Amino acid sequence: MIFNEKNAQHVINTLATSIKKVFDGAFEAAPSQWSNVAMEVPSNGSSNTYAWIEKFPKLRKWLGDKVVNQLKGHAYTIVNDDFEATVEIDRNDIEDDNLGIYKPQAQMAGESSKQWADDLVFAALTGGFDEECYDGKTFYATNHEVGEGKTKKLVSNRLNVPLKIDTLAEVKASYGTARTMLRSVKDNEGRPLNLTPSVLVVPFALEDTANALMTVDRLEDGKPNPYKGTAKVLAVGWLKTDSEWHLLDASKAVKPIIFQPRKKPVFVQQTDTSSDAVFMRKKFKFGAEARGAAGYGLWQMAVGSTGA
């Protein structure tokens, strides 16, 4: 390809348009699963502070003056981080029409950008055994405090049992226990939150087990499967271990995980032929930038087991 001072900027602009088209196509085609377990809360600054309330107001019979719930919040802050993916193209490859080698890189950058939210959300979910949520406890903990004073109780949303389905007893001890824990959660005044376990998140190693639990009529011991169809199975590759599993209520507007985008992935380029990068190193740059974070919503809406 003729690449000289007169046509250089036109050639590189055309190349940028082509690469962006490849990037956009890969972005649109890439699968994404984060919205199954997280809610999106846009950010307009360097961080968001969430004063998650401990009370869940419900309608009561109106007698006399209204009762105003005193909302007691916790300061929980999620700080935004910067992310990037960059492809560097050598000027010699443009001159030699050797650009085919960069198409896969542009495609991978597009796919990575689409799954950026998945990276953040599922990293938060699998980190729930170690990372703190709004009440100062780890997201999955055995000692979350509900209520105050004499009515205060310690509530657990953490298990250490494997997901097994060979016998009804094994299922009840694992999935059944988690399901009961989630459905039994109450607010500070002892009222049920009426949570509905809706998503079972597992690593690929447990995908067949989880799918069988949700589809078979009878278990290996011949007994009826009482849990058939009670949750959607979501097998993901972001979990840290091959034994952990998570049961969530993701059916409501508020979800257990927060996806906090400050700037969603955008295509960027450095294509000025007079730039130092081009003059000194013969390099043009294309890529994506994003800014955001993920964190924890309400621990009450999730039960996690290490599977140990």
- Is there a domain that residue 111 lies in? no
- Cα–Cα distances in Å, from 283 out to 16, 23, 93? 13, 19, 10
Q: Integer distance in angstroms from the first to the last C-alpha of the chain? A: 60
- Is there a domain that residue 108 lies in? no
Amino acid at 85: A
Instruction: Report the pLDDT value the prediction gives residue 254, as an integer from 0 to 100.
Output: 87
- Is residue 26 within 8 Å of 87, Cβ to Cβ? no
Instruction: Report the pLDDT value the prediction gives residue 19, as an integer from 0 to 100.
Output: 86
- Is there a domain that residue 23 lies in? no
- Is there a domain that residue 85 lies in? yes
- Is there a domain that residue 277 lies in? no
DSSP 99: -
- Is there a domain that residue 3 lies in? no
Instruction: Report the pLDDT value the prediction gives residue 253, as an integer from 0 to 100.
Output: 85
- Is residue 57 within 8 Å of 70, Cβ to Cβ? no
Q: Across the chain, what does the average pLDDT equal?
A: 87
- Is there a domain that residue 34 lies in? yes
* Nearest partner of 134 among 123, 145, 122, 142, judged by Cα: 145
DSSP 36: G
Which tens digits make up the pLDDT trace of 38-49?
A: 999 999 999 988
Mean pLDDT computed over 75-104: 81
- Is there a domain that residue 213 lies in? yes
> Over 50: is that where the pLDDT of 67 sits?
no
Amino acid at 302: A
Please give the tally of structural domains in the chain: 1
Q: What gap in Å lies between CA 11 and CA 96, rounded to an integer?
A: 13
Which tens digits make up the pLDDT trace of 232-283?
A: 999 999 999 999 999 999 998 889 999 999 999 998 888 776 777 666 767 8
Instruction: Report the pLDDT value the prediction gives residue 70, as an integer from 0 to 100.
Output: 44
Domain containing 162 equals 29-58+68-92+119-260+292-305
Instruction: Report the pLDDT value the prediction gives residue 282, as an integer from 0 to 100.
Output: 76
Instruction: Report the pLDDT value the prediction gives residue 62, as an integer from 0 to 100.
Output: 62
